[in-house]
Chains A and B, each alone.
Chain A
Amino acid sequence: MGKQGYSMMIRIHGAAAGMTGFCMAMAMLLSILSGTAQSQPPGHRIGVNPAYSVPAGDTPAGIEVNSATLVENANLWNGRIVAFKGEAIGESMVRGKMAWLHLNDDAYMEKNIEEGAVLGGYNGGHAVWVSAELAKKIRFFGDFKHDGDIVRVTGVFHAVCRDHGGDMDIHASSLEIIRPGYPVPHAVNLQRGMIAALLFVAAALLYGIRQIAVRRRI
């Protein structure tokens, strides 16, 4: 083996030793950090958000809960049977005999901005895992041109779903249409059309002036 070969071997060994040392240090850090926490009851070190409801012992199964409550106090609602109502948006994504739906229960559930609703913050909602058969009941999904069906589902809420890689979801066993969706008409705004036309006329004039200015510069 030549000098270069030895040099290469030393480099590889050095890199391997460095990586091993780094991994060992990180493993130690990890064990120290997780070791301390193991003495705590799991999943209960983040306090309850009192602004949102929490289930009690006598909370009936199938009680209606909104999406913000489920996110804010996720661990406490985990595994509970809940009812959830929202506008179906996007599309139904069928996966074999089951399907994913997304139901929004935000300020735009009844009427969206394209229909003239006042601004009410971000969208908010939940992903629902339901049989493809039930998902077929939905005719309209909310988008620019449609207000989606408002749907009520009942099922088990998972703060961290084992079946779906840790997603937060609701596995629904029932689905009913509360209010059918509809296409949203959009009247053409002619006033804005006029403004656009005026701007293009101004741009054409400026282009002419620019050409004169360029010729003068040359």
Chain B
Amino acid sequence: MIIRPRLSDFKVICLYTGKVIIGVGLLMLIPLATALCFGEWNPAIEFLIGIGACLVFGLGMEALCQTRRDLNWSHGLVVASFSWFVATALGAIPHWLSGHFGSYLDAMFDVMSGYTTTGMFLLQDLDHISHGLNMWRHVLTYAGGQGIIVIALTFLFRGTAGAYKVYVGEGKDERLMPNVIQTARAIWLVSLTYLVVGSLALWIVGVWLGQGYVRGGLHALWIFMAGWSTGGFAPQSYNTMYYHSLVYEMICAIIFIGGSFNFALHWAVWTGDKSEIRKNIEIISFFITVTLAMLITTAGLMALDVYPDTMALFRKMFYQVASGHTTTGFGTIYSRTFVRQWGPLAMLGVTLAMAIGASACSTGGGFKGIRMGIIFKSLMQDVRRMISPESARVAIKWHHITTRVLDDQTVRTAMMIVLSYIGIYALGTLVGVYYGYDLVEALFDSVSAGSNTGLSCGVANPSMPAPMKIVYIFEMWAGRLEFMSVFALMGYVVALLRGR
């Protein structure tokens, strides 16, 4: 029997959603300050409207839904998915008011893309937008990478036992510290430290490459935010091709590869356990799958003789594949170059990289290295069982922070999530093919949206049909939250309609 949620359930969900939305409103203070600094008065007003709308919603929820109840598991999952949805709707206000979007749906597409660290965009005339709006795009992706729930946990939640349930709902389940709020703060400590170091490195190189101090500084900050969060937004329409520099590309690659690793791994290394780097199942899995994807892509590029020398081939191939595999979405080639020069095999290599994606509990998306590792180990376990005597007990261990024996429940969970990802990739591809796009191109952009990568071969653009935009928004949302929260929200809607 399905139990219909009671008023008290809605109260607790709305109360915590309100808190998260207040957090989103406070985040807009950063682009507001940027707009004021550069004398961009209209964008500043647009951010004030955005902040006002978030405060009205958040405080309205807090005024209406005060309750002593704490969150249970289903509440936590629903708060996470519902917050992301409302945060997208309200976060899109400054985007929409800027006049650079064809519809409110397009503005929501970009905001969801930012929060989910996807990096696809439908914004038109990017090269003429304000510094304020550019700052908002990148703050969205940086905040989304760490998790907007993590932000709320860091600054707005005080000692609630239910906090961990919302945190898990956002697709993270690592506890770096005994307390989840301390864990959220640890994630911010790691990210902000790297922010200072990475932005400084990019700024120095940017100025050396001929950028002015102010533009170079802003670009450095934004590129770091987009790279570390594996977001893939960039301040210019040329993305990172704009800089025409191997050094800049290398720093970007270090940043996005670092950002794609598990926070628990970063924390282990920070706290002195450097051996974790070579033992961790995700790192091993990442290096194997990235090598495979690079070989396939290289084979495709060699088959078509795209690049005249090995250095150019390796530079372009490595950057796009690593960017795809870490689900960043930075590119140093035009979108249509994938189709018009790279060809189907190289595109499939990048698609495979994007589909597998980054590490669990990182800013990245996709199947995740840990699940690939677990499924591979499970396969090995089955093979060993087949060739061992019937009486033998075959146990395989896997290492992620601690060493564990592989059990069926772990394998089942990993398989279920991977199948869900395949499901959303297939959904986007089918819709793309239905609207007349080539199969490989539809697959490429669908996988890119579902794995929160953001590379595009030209399918995702402002003129694509609205249902495709909605499907891509759903893919980004479900992929980032790793399904459970979205399923919980759907379950709540069903329970509301059919429960007793």
Interface centre among A37, A92, A165, A198 (most CB of B within 10 A): A165
Instruction: Name B238's contact: one of A112, A127, A159, A217 (CB within 8 Å).
Output: A127
Please count how many residues in chain A sit with their CB below 8 Å of the partner chain's CB atoms. 77
Residues in B with CB closer than 8 Å to A127 are 238, 241-242, 244
Q: Determine if A142 is an interface residue (Cβ-Cβ < 8 Å).
A: yes
Q: Determine if B211 is an interface residue (Cβ-Cβ < 8 Å).
A: yes
Instruction: Name B63's contact: one of A43, A199, A213 (CB within 8 Å).
Output: A213
Query: From residue A171, how far is it (CB to closest CB) to chain B in Å?
Result: 12
Nearest residue, chain A, Cβ from B47:
A196
Residues in A with CB closer than 8 Å to B462 are 119, 121-122
Q: A26-B291, A113-B128, A167-B244 are in contact. Are A192 and B41 (CB under 8 A)?
A: no
- The answer for the CA separation of A108 and B292 in the assembled complex, in Å, is 42
Q: Determine if B422 is an interface residue (Cβ-Cβ < 8 Å).
A: no
Q: A112-B125, A168-B334 are in contact. Are A203 and B55 (CB under 8 A)?
A: yes
Query: Is A121 touching B463 in the complex (CB atoms < 8 A)?
Result: yes
Q: Determine if B29 is an interface residue (Cβ-Cβ < 8 Å).
A: no
Interface of A is mostly: mixed
Query: From residue A117, how far is it (CB to closest CB) to chain B in Å?
Result: 8
Residues in A with CB closer than 8 Å to B243 are 93
Residues in B with CB closer than 8 Å to A188 are 41-42, 45
Q: Determine if B129 is an interface residue (Cβ-Cβ < 8 Å).
A: yes
Nearest residue, chain B, Cβ from A143:
B128
Query: From residue B360, how far is it (CB to closest CB) to chain A in Å?
Result: 23
Q: Determine if A20 is an interface residue (Cβ-Cβ < 8 Å).
A: no
Q: Determine if B274 is an interface residue (Cβ-Cβ < 8 Å).
A: no
- The answer for the CA separation of A92 and B210 in the assembled complex, in Å, is 7
Nearest residue, chain A, Cβ from B41:
A188
Residues in B with CB closer than 8 Å to A213 are 62-64, 66
Nearest residue, chain A, Cβ from B236:
A90
Nearest residue, chain B, Cβ from A114:
B128
Query: Is A45 touching B241 in the complex (CB atoms < 8 A)?
Result: no
Nearest residue, chain A, Cβ from B102:
A119
Q: Of A1-9, A56-64, A70-78, which stretch is located at the interface?
A: A70-78
Q: A112-B125, A210-B63 are in contact. Are A72 and B299 (CB under 8 A)?
A: no
Q: A93-B211, A100-B244 are in contact. Are A203 and B41 (CB under 8 A)?
A: no
Q: Determine if B340 is an interface residue (Cβ-Cβ < 8 Å).
A: yes
User: Using a CB–CB distance below 8 Å, which chain A residues touch chain B?
Assistant: 22, 26, 29-30, 33-34, 36-37, 40, 42-43, 45-46, 49, 71-75, 89-95, 99-100, 102, 104, 106-108, 112-114, 117, 119-125, 127, 142-144, 159-160, 162, 164-169, 186, 188-189, 192-193, 195-196, 198-200, 202-203, 206-207, 209-210, 213-214, 216-217
Q: List 17 A-B contacts (CB under 8 A).
A: A30-B299, A37-B304, A72-B340, A74-B341, A91-B215, A93-B210, A95-B209, A108-B125, A112-B128, A127-B238, A144-B40, A144-B128, A166-B308, A168-B337, A199-B56, A210-B63, A217-B68
User: Using a CB–CB distance below 8 Å, which chain B residues touch chain A?
Assistant: 40-42, 45-46, 48-49, 52-53, 55-56, 59-60, 62-64, 66-68, 97, 99-102, 124-131, 209-212, 215, 236-238, 241-244, 246, 288, 291-292, 295, 298-300, 302-309, 311-313, 315-316, 332-334, 336-337, 339-341, 343, 345, 461-463
